[in-house]
Structure 1
Amino acid sequence: MKCFNICIDIDGTITDPYCWLDMANKYFKKNISIEEITQYRVDEVMGVTRSEYVDFYNKNKFELHSGKEPIRKDVKKTIQKLIKTNNIYFVTAREKDLEILTYHYLNKHNIPYDGVFMLGTSYKVDTAIDLKCDVFIEDCYENALQLSTSGFKTLLIDTNYNRFPLNEKITRVFNWTDIYNILEKMLLQKKVI
């Protein structure tokens, strides 16, 4: 029997969180640096309207999620270790039309999983409830708050755009080694109880 149900976001969590920047800079004729990305929403970062961003995203989403996005360090080996004793579910705001590209990306990088959920919305609480999530790994501060205030232990992987105050259910992590160590400690505590 598996120990934990671990839910993991994809974009910015297993992928490089800034991989969209070059394309957005070119499209909007900007020169924004990684250090300037202090908000999650690309429209706010780029100083454009929400509809201008939506237009950019709709025109470029297949290229943005084409599988070329760099993967964060240690994601593959960490998830390969975790899946031996835990259920791994990817829960993403990506829309259904990105499903084939998403599976291709995970398989290309040999990232194992028990399920992939393409929500088409950033609201992940209901899916976390359905999956009986024990821990959610996320990069979006607003999502982390929403999940944590709904009772879910959340590991927020550090980025320039999520450095805001945390509540007691959110733990900031800096890499996938941190994530693994925290989950191992939780597992040991569970075995003691």
Structure 2
Amino acid sequence: MNAKQSLTIGIDIDGTVTDPGSMVPMMNESFGKNLRYEECVDYNLATIYNISEAEFVHWLEQNGERLYREAPLHGTADQVLRNWYNRHRLIYISAREQKHLAVTEDWFHRHAVPYHEIALLGSHDKLAAAKERNVDLFIEDRLENALQLAESLQIPIFLFDTPYNQSPLPPLIRRVTSWQEIAELIDQL
């Protein structure tokens, strides 16, 4: 792979382009907790907040639009993605539901985050979407997604370092701490 050539980059949205801790204040507000992002050591926030899956799904149904509208940008994602836009194909593949496309596109426009395509799957299973779009690499924050994509597609995965994805990683998955670090690594491919 030569980063001087055009790449098709698969990119998760929540916790990747948006700040990974952005859901915690809203969950604290709704469930009367005072948890810190660093305490969220499980991706499944229902477990962290000691609520049922049904309660979490209901909460997301009630608060998803606000969450997606108000989520802060993750670091310098906007700058890096703008730098890539004319050279690489940027495809956002997210577990968000299709009904949130308008609020998602609005967020991208307000934050000047460019895209070639946004695919909202309504599921964490991103494998078929990534395969169908022939992604050359993927940027993700959910460990299970990273493992599945790396193993099935045999492509590099950049996994944002978060409290909820700590585990030994196979060689195709590289833990990263910033968008700038990803930009530098992609330039080296």
The TM-score by the shorter chain falls in which range?
Answer: over 0.9
How many Å separate the matches in 2 of 1:105 and 1:26? Answer: 22
Return 99-108 or 81-90, whichever deviates more.
81-90
Q: CA RMSD in A?
A: 1.3
| Corresponding position: 1:180 with 2:165 | no
Q: TM-score, normalised by structure 2?
A: 0.94
> SS state of the match for residue 81, structure 2?
helix
- Deviation of 1:173 after TM superposition, in Å, equals 0.6
Task: Specify the alignment match of 1:92 in structure 2.
Answer: 94
Residue number among 79, 83, 86 corresponding to 2:85 in the alignment: 83
Residue 158 (structure 1) aligned with residue 167 (structure 2)? no
Aligned residue type for 2:68: H
2-side partners of 1:110 and 1:28: how far apart? Answer: 32
Q: Secondary structure at the match of 1:70?
A: coil
For the 8 Å contact 1:139–1:157, the answer to whether it is kept is yes
Q: Which runs of 5+ in 2 are unaligned?
A: none
Using the TM superposition, give the Cα deviation of residue 107 of structure 1 relative to its aligned residue in structure 2, in angstroms: 0.9
Task: Give the whole-Å Cα distance in 2 for the aligned partners of 1:111 and 1:129.
Answer: 23
- Report SS of the residue matched to 2:21: coil
TM-score for the superposition, normalised by structure 1: 0.92
2:146 to 141, 144, 147: 144
Aligned to 2:52: 49
Aligned counterpart, 2:10: 7
Which residue of structure 2 aligns with residue 36 of structure 1?
Answer: 39
Q: Which residue of 2 aligns with 1:134?
A: 136
Q: For the residues of structure 2 that align with 1:2 and 1:83, how far apart are their CA atoms?
A: 13
Paired residues of 1:2 and 1:87 also in contact (CA < 8 A): no
Pairs aligned (count): 185
- Choose which of 150, 173, 182 in structure 2 pairs with 1:170: 173
Deviation at 1:2, TM superposition (A): 5.6
Alignment of 1:104-115 (within 5 A): 104-115=106-117
Q: 1:3 to 1:72 in 2, by over 3 A?
A: same
SS, match of residue 25 in structure 1:
helix
Shift of 1:82: 1.2
2:93 touches 2:119 (CA, 8 Å); kept in 1?
yes
Q: Deviations over 1:117-145 (max 9, x none)?
A: 01111100111111111010000111101
Q: CA deviation at 1:152?
A: 2.5
The partner residue of 2:25 within 16, 19, 22 is 22
Deviation, structure 1 residue 84: 2.1
SS state of the match for residue 171, structure 1? strand
